[in-house]
Amino acid sequence: MECVAEASRRLPQQQTQFGGRLRSGAPVITYAVIALNVLVYLFQWIIPGLTNSLVLAPVIAAYEPWRLITSAFAHSTGSILHLAMNMYGIYIFGTLLEPRLGRLRFAWLYLLSAIGGSLGILLLSAPMSATLGASGALAGLFLATFVVFRSNKQALRQMGIILVLNIVLGFVVSGISWQGHLGGAVTGIIASACIVLIPRSNPQRSRIQLVLLSALSILLLVAVYLAAQGAK
């Protein structure tokens, strides 16, 4: 048995299209993100005042930095449509991206996009404005899909139509945080480029991807810190 186990460890590890560990089964991270959002939404209804402690307001971000993340997992209790639309989007793009990127890279992309959305709010929203929702992270996944499917012209045309509609809605419909969408989208493009644009032929592809993602994470956290200090 030990010989079999040792031989298994020495076998070349199967990889996804972009270098992650190939796993069979459901897109676990996508489902976990959706489940966490739904669970937080239920708690928002059950626990009085919870929503107010999760939303992001630029003026208090420096004093309560957890809001930079918690706001991306909370949704307006005024309409379940807010949650439903975001979760449907995460399902669509998560099931497209996670099998191609791998769990680690997909989770990293999602969290960076969420934080990027919060950075957009810190930089561009009014100091006293309150924002919540997974829209920034979803925008990151959406733009990452453009990078992943950049050679598929038909898919790009279809996503381009959706992108234009979302941009228009962001400026026309009240209550939509275009600032969070913009921050998440820009971060999603950069993060996905760190993963996707490293050639498969490069023997150091995985290491380069992780180094680039780590560097982007540090830069993003520094930018968030400086923006939060400037917003107080």
195 burial (CB, 10 Å; 0-12 / 13-18 / 19+) is buried
pLDDT at 112 over 90: yes
3-state helix, strand, coil in the chain (%, to 5): 70, 0, 25
| Mean pLDDT score, 189-213 | 95
Alpha-carbon torsion angle 208, 150, 191, 177, nearest 10: 180
Q: Residue 97: helix, strand or coil by DSSP?
A: helix
Q: Residue 56: helix, strand or coil by DSSP?
A: strand
The share of the chain scoring above pLDDT 90, in percent, equals 71
pLDDT at 128 over 60: yes
**pLDDT-derived band at 8, boundaries 50, 70, 90:** very low
**pLDDT-derived band at 21, boundaries 50, 70, 90:** confident
Q: How far apart are the first and last CA of the chain?
A: 61
Beta bridge partners of 15: 21
- CA–CA gap between residue 173 and residue 166 (Å, rounded): 10
- CA–CA gap between residue 116 and residue 121 (Å, rounded): 9
Q: Report the pLDDT value the prediction gives residue 150, as an integer from 0 to 100.
A: 83
Q: b vs e for 6-39, b when ≥16 Cβ sit within 10 Å of the residue's Cβ?
A: eeeeeeeeeebebbbeeeeeebebbeebbeebee
Show the tokens assigned to 164. 């234009």
CA atoms within 13 A on the CB side of 79: 7
- CA–CA gap between residue 231 and residue 226 (Å, rounded): 9
Domains contained in the chain, CATH given: 21-231 (1.20.1540.10)
Mind listing the pLDDT tens digit for each residue in 34-45? 999 999 999 999
